[in-house]
Amino acid sequence: MRFIFTIISIISFHLGYSQESSDSTEIVHVLKEDYKTMVTHDINKHKSFCTEDYLLIENGEIWDMDREAFDYKKKEHRVIERNDYFDFKYLKIEGNTAYAVYGLKSDIKETGKLTTRYWNESTIFRRVNGAWKISLIHSTPIVSK
């Protein structure tokens, strides 16, 4: 009997770990794909990655999706190249909620000029209808690096 319990425990652990690993992969993918929308200015695709009550805390301001859509529209004439490098420090999944803490380095090239910017960020995700969505991003710029 003890042997059967041990086998069931091992299988349950691996299935749980496998699901968490799959969720982690999906969460990271959603975040990286969402950041690409800042280059394409595709607000509808950005919305598809976010919950209906999504918020962004940016430079000390709290933006809802309407405010962010305004910013996307304002910048749609810009032609930029952007490479984002994520340094994940922590990713925690609890049921249908997850959060990530990471450093972000972005190389942004516009009209031939390369600018590198750095942020410390945290993001809260929620699983909505089986898919991970971004609920909140808190972005803090690192001025000197």
Q: What is the pLDDT of residue 22?
A: 92
- Cβ neighbours of residue 69 closer than 8 Å, sequence gap 6 or more: 43, 47
Annotate 92-124 with b (16+ C-beta within 10 A) or e (fewer). Answer: ebeeeebbbebebebebeeeeeeeeebbebbbb
Q: How far apart (Å, rounded) are the C-alpha atoms in residues 107 and 105?
A: 7
Q: According to the model, what pLDDT value does residue 12 have?
A: 44
Q: What's the domain range around 8? A: 2-142
CATH number, domain of 122, equals 3.10.450.50
Give the pLDDT means over successive 10-residue stretches in the chain (145 positions). Answer: 45 50 94 95 96 95 96 90 96 97 96 95 98 97 81
Q: Which of 117, 105, 133, 140 is nearest to 34 (CA)?
A: 133
Q: Look at the chain and report how many structural domains it folds into.
A: 1
pLDDT confidence of residue 15: 45
